[in-house]
Structure 1
Amino acid sequence: MPDSRPQPSPPPGRPSEPALLLCGARLTDGRTVDVRLGGGRIEAVGTAGSLAGTTAAGTAVGGGARVDLSGYLLLPAPAEAHTHADTALSADADGPVSYAPEDVQLRATEAALLQLGHGATALRAHVRVGDVQGLGALAAVLEARRSLRGLAEVTTVAVPRVLTGVAGADGLAVLRDAVKMGACVVGGCPDVDPDPAGYVEAVLEVASEQGCPVDLHTDADDPARLARLAAMAGGLRPGVTLGPCGGLARLPVDMASRTADQLAAAGVTVVCLPQGGCGGAEGRDTAPVGLLRAAGVRVAAGSGALRDVSNPVGRGDPLEAAYLLASRHGLRPEEAYDAVSASARAALGLPEVRVEAGFPAELLAVRGDRLAGALSLAYSRIVVHQGRVVARTSAVREYCDSATATELGLPRQGRGKPS
C-alpha cells in the first residue's frame, strides 16, 4: 500500500532550511538535471552532476540535503482549485454530517494531508457559513490551516446559502464577518438562492468592499443566466472563478460557444471537476473544456467532493483529474496537467512555477520518464513545498510466488518494481 508521510513543519523561529539538491531528475523536455533549492525558491538548474556538492554561496552541501530523483519526472506541483474542507471524509459517518468544530478541524486537516500526499501544495477550500453551522466550520478550517503551515498553503472560500430577501440580510452580515475572521475569498452558489442575479450582485459588492477574489459555484444550464453572471463579473479585480459549470455541457454547441465567448470576454476562470463534481447526481457533467479553451477561457481543474455524500469515493488526486481530462475530454497530457498546475495556481492567485532558476520551489516528482505515463500510473511521489520535502509516497509492485513467476517468466516475489 502507498505510504504517505508528511514531514512536520519547522517550529517558529527555526533558521532557514539549508540548500536542498535534487539529483538526476528528468524534465518533460527530456533533459536529466540537478536542481538546487534554497530560501523557498529554485536557485539553479544544471545538467546532472554539475551542481553536486555546492550551494549558491559555494559551500558544501551537507548530509541529508540531497534527494536522488533518478527514475523520477520533476514537475511544477499541482494545486487543488476546488475542495470542500468542511464536509470532506464524512461519507462513512452515521447520520448527518457533523459540523462540530473539532470534527470539522480533524477532517479538514486529514483531507489536506491526503491531497498533499498526492502533490497539491496549495488548496482552495470552500466552507459553508451561516445557517446551522454559523461561523464554527470556518473557524475550524482556519485552525486546520494554521496547523498545516509549512506543509501546504490553504485558502478558504466563505459560502453563504441565501443573500437576498428577508433572510439575505443575515447572510450578508455573516459573509462580511467571515472575511473579517480570515476567509480569503467570497463565494457561494447563486443557483440555490431565489434571486440568483441578486445573490451574485451581493457577492460582488462584498468582494469589491473587501478587495477579495470571487469563487462562485454554478451548474446552471441557462445560457442567459451564465451570460449575465459573466457580464456582472467582468472587470472585477482580483478576479472571478466559476465552477464547475457542468451545465454548459448540456447546451447545444452553438449556444455553449457563445456563452464561452462571453466568459472569455469577462476574464472569468472556469474550474471544472472531471472526477464527479460536488453536487447531486444530476450535476455530474464536466464543463466542455475543449470548447472553453478554444474560446480563450482559462480552464483549471479541481477534485470537488472528497469522500462525502456527493462523491463517497472521491480521491482528491490532481493527477487523476488530469488523467480524466486527457482520456475523456481530448486534452493533450501537457494541457491536462496545466489545468491542475499552472492554471490552477493562476486561479488561486499564486505565482507561476517552472523548473527554472528564480521560481518558487513548489515541485512534484513522480516515478516515470514521460508525462503521459505519469498521468496514467504514478504511485510513487515526492512533494516539495517552500523548498522542503514535505511528503513521500512509495509503492512497490510484487508478483506471484516463485514457481508461478518462473513459469510465466516474471520477476520473483520480493523483487518488486517501484511504480
Structure 2
Amino acid sequence: MTETTTLTGATLPDGHVRNVVLRHGSVSHLRPVGIPDPGESVIDLTGYLLLPAPAEPHLHLDRALTWEPVGSDPDGRDGPVRSWRAWPARYSTADLRRRARSALQALSANGVTAVRAHIDIGVGAGSPLRAVEVLRELREDLHRILDLQIVAVPSPGLADRSALDAFSAGAGLLGGRPHSAADPRAETRRLLRLADRAEVDLDLHLDDQPDSRVLAVADLARLLRASGFGRQVTASHCAGLGVLRPPALAKVVEAIAASRMAVIALPAAPRTENGTRAVPPCGGPGPLHALLEAGVPLGAGGDHLRDALHPMGRADALEAASLLVTTGQLTVEQAYAAVGADARRIMGLPKAGPEPGAVADLLAVRASSLAEAVMAPPADRIVFRRGRVVSRTAVPRAGTLRSRSTGVLSRQRGRVPAGAR
C-alpha cells in the first residue's frame, strides 16, 4: 500500500456513499465519489457497507475449539464444566497454541481487530501460567492483525502471589469468578485488592445464573463506591439482573451507573458454568434497556467458542449482534454498537470507523445496510487494521433456478473479486 489509500464507493452506516481516504493508519477525510488523486492506492468498495471493525470483549480462548476432543459429560448439573476441568492435563502447549491461533485468525477474518481473552490460571497439571505465556507469544506474533488483551482468571483459593505472577507472565487484566468461592463477597474484595496491587483493570464473571438471594453485581457496585477503587471495572454476564422487579432493577442499575463499571452481555452462550440452561443476556430485554438508558457502557461478546459449554459458534461479531436483536430486543444499531464502538471503548481502544480522525480499523461487508449485514451476515468481507488489508474473503455463488415459463434449468454464478481469497 502507498501512504494514501482511497476506498471508493463505500456505503457508510448512514446510507451515504463516499470515498474514504486513509492516511498513516487513520481516516483522513471523506469525499464524494469521484476519481481518486494520482498516486493513491485504490480499493473499490462498491456494493460494500463500511463499518467500524468489531471487537471481542469476552472470550475463553484457552478452551476454544475443544468440543470435538472434550465433548460434554451430560451426567449431572456440572457435566460440561467437569469435562473441561478433567482435560487440561492431557493437552499439550503445542495444541493450545494451535487452537488459540486458529481461533484468533478466524476472528480476524470475520472482522475483529481486538480480543479480550479470559484465561484460567491455577487449573490443571503443569505450569499454572502456561496458557498466559502461550497467549503472550501469540499477541506478539499476531499484533499486525489484532490487539490481544489477556485477562488472568485465578481459581478461588489460588495464592495471591501466584495470581500476581500472571502479570509478569504477560496478563494485563485481572478476572475472577467470585460465585465459585465459598465466600463470594470476600473473594470480590480480594480481587479488588489484587487488582489495586497489580495496578490493572478488573473484569469479573458475575451473576452468570439467576439467584434472587445474592446479586454480586449490586455488591460490587456498592464496594466500588465505598472503596474509591480508581481503575476500570467490567462485569460480565450479569444474568441475575433478570430476577429483579422493575423498582429493584432501577435501583441496582442506578448503582451500577454511579460506580462507572461497564457490563458485557454474552448472548451466544447457551449454558452456564454448571451446565444449566442459560437465560437471555443480562437477564433479558428489561435489564439491557435499563442499562443503556442509564448510560452504562454495554458491550457484547461470544464467551465460549466450540467448547464443552458451547459446542457451536462462528467467531463472528455479527452473529452476536444478531442474537442481541433476537434475545435482547435491541435495535440493530444498538446491537452493532455493543460489538463495535462500545466494546472498543470498554476495552480502552481508540475510536474506529469511517469518519475523519478515527483509527482505520474497518470492516467492509457485502451488504446495502446494517440491518442486512446483521440479519444475514455476508461471507464477503474485507478487514482493515490500521489502514492495511489484513483479510479478504469472497465466496463464489452458484444457484440453479427453474424458469416458470419454460421449465428450463439455468445456472447463475457470482463473480469473485480479483485478489480475493
CA distance in 1, matches of 2:32, 2:409: 33
Return 390-399 or 108-117, whichever deviates more. Answer: 390-399
Shift of 1:277: 5.5
| Structure 2 counterpart of 1:13 | none
Matches within 5 A, 1:35-54: 35-49=20-34, 52-54=36-38
Alignment of 1:139-218 (within 5 A): 139-162=133-156, 167-168=157-158, 170=159, 172-218=160-206
2:230 corresponding residue in structure 1: 237
Instruction: Report how far residue 393 of structure 1 moved.
Output: 2.1
* Compared CA separation, residues 53 and 102, structure 1 to 2 (3 A): same
Superposed CA deviations along residues 118-173 of structure 1, whole A, max 9, x for unmatched, are 111000000011132500111111112121110111110000011xxxx44x2x11
CA distance in 2, matches of 1:408, 1:205: 76
**Alignment partners' CA distance in 2, 1:411 and 1:246:** 52
Q: 112, 120, 126: which one pairs with 1:120?
A: 112
User: Per the alignment, do residues 191 and 94 of structure 1 end up closer, same or farther by CA in structure 2, a change over 3 Å counting?
Assistant: closer
1:415 is displaced (CA, Å) by 2.4
* CA distances 1:384-407 after superposition (whole Å, capped 9, x unpaired): 111111112222432126xx3566
Residue number in structure 2 paired with 1:87: 63
Gapped regions of structure 2 (runs ≥ 5): 72-86
* Cα-Cα RMSD: 2.3
Partner of 2:19: 34
- Distance change >3 Å, CA 381–CA 407, structure 1 → 2: farther
Whichever residue aligns with residue 69 of structure 2, its letter is A
Letter in 2 for 1:173: R
In the aligned structure 1, how far is the partner of 2:335 from the partner of 2:408? 34
Equivalent position amino acid for 2:45 in 1: L
Q: Which runs of 5+ in 1 are unaligned?
A: 1-15, 55-59
Deviations 1:27-64 (A, max 9, x none): 122211111212211122111126x134xxxxx12xxx
In the TM superposition, 1:265-276 aligns within 5 A as 265-276=258-269
- 1:377 to partner: Cα distance: 1.5
For residues 239 and 364 of structure 2, what CA distance do their matches in structure 1 show?
Answer: 31
Q: Is the 8 A contact 2:11 2:47 kept in 1?
A: yes
User: In the alignment, which residue of structure 2 is the partner of 1:66?
Assistant: 42
Alpha-carbon separation, structure 2, partners of 1:349 and 1:308: 28
**1:286-343: CA deviation from partner (whole Å, max 9, x where unpaired):** 1131122123221110011000101001222111111121233221111111100111
Equivalent residues of 2:361, 2:384 under 8 A apart? yes
C-alpha separation between the residues in 2 aligned to 1:29 and 1:391? 24
1:131 and 2:131 are equivalent in the alignment: no
- Alignment of structure 1 residues 250-265 onto 2, 5 Å: 250-265=243-258
- Secondary structure (helix, strand or coil) at the match of 1:128 reads strand
* 1:245 to 1:408, Cα distance in 2 relative to 1, 3 A: farther
Aligned residue identity for 1:237: G
2:249 equivalent to 1:247: no
Q: Which amino acid aligns with 1:115?
A: L
CA distance in 2, matches of 1:411, 1:387: 44
The one-letter code of the counterpart of 2:250 is S
Query: Per the alignment, in what secondary structure is the counterpart of residue 400 of structure 1?
Result: strand
After TM superposition, the structure 1 = structure 2 runs for residues 369-408 of structure 1, keeping only pairs within 5 Å, are 369-379=368-378, 380-400=380-400, 404-405=402-403
TM, length-normalised to structure 2: 0.86
* Farther-moved stretch of structure 1 (36-45 vs 245-254): 245-254
The amino acid of 1:136's aligned partner reads R
Q: Secondary structure at the match of 1:93?
A: helix
In the aligned structure 1, how far is the partner of 2:370 from the partner of 2:406?
A: 30
How far 1:416 sits from its partner (Å)? Answer: 3.3
- Output the amino acid matched with 2:251: R
Q: How many residues align?
A: 387
Deviation at 1:93, TM superposition (A): 0.9
1:231-290 residue CA offsets vs partner (Å, 9 max, x unmatched): 223453331001111222233333333222211111111100111267344262211311
Is the CA contact 1:100–1:137 (under 8 Å) kept in the aligned structure 2? no
Contact map agreement 1:399 1:411 (CA 8 A) in 2: no
Are 1:282 and 2:276 matched, yes or no? yes
SS in 2 for 1:228: helix
CA gap 1:160/1:409 in 2 versus in 1, 3 angstroms: farther
Q: Which residue identity does 1:121 align to in structure 2? A: T
SS in 1 for 2:302: coil
Q: Runs in 1 of length 4+ with deviation above 6 angstroms?
A: 408-411
Q: TM-score, normalised by structure 1?
A: 0.86
Relative to 1, partners in 2 of residues 1:293 and 1:94: Cα closer, same or farther, differing over 3 Å? closer
Change (3 A) 1:300 1:278: farther
What is the deviation of 1:107? 0.8
Residue 356 of structure 1 aligns with which residue?
A: 355
Is 2:175–2:204's contact at 8 Å kept on the other side of the alignment? yes
| Paired position in structure 2 for 1:413 | 411
Q: Residues 418 and 128 from structure 1, CA distance in 2 versus in 1: closer, same or farther, beyond 3 angstroms?
A: same
Structure 1 residues 244 and 405: CA distance shift in structure 2, 3 A = farther
Q: CA, structure 1 residues 205+30, in 2 after alignment: closer, same or farther (shift >3 Å)?
A: same
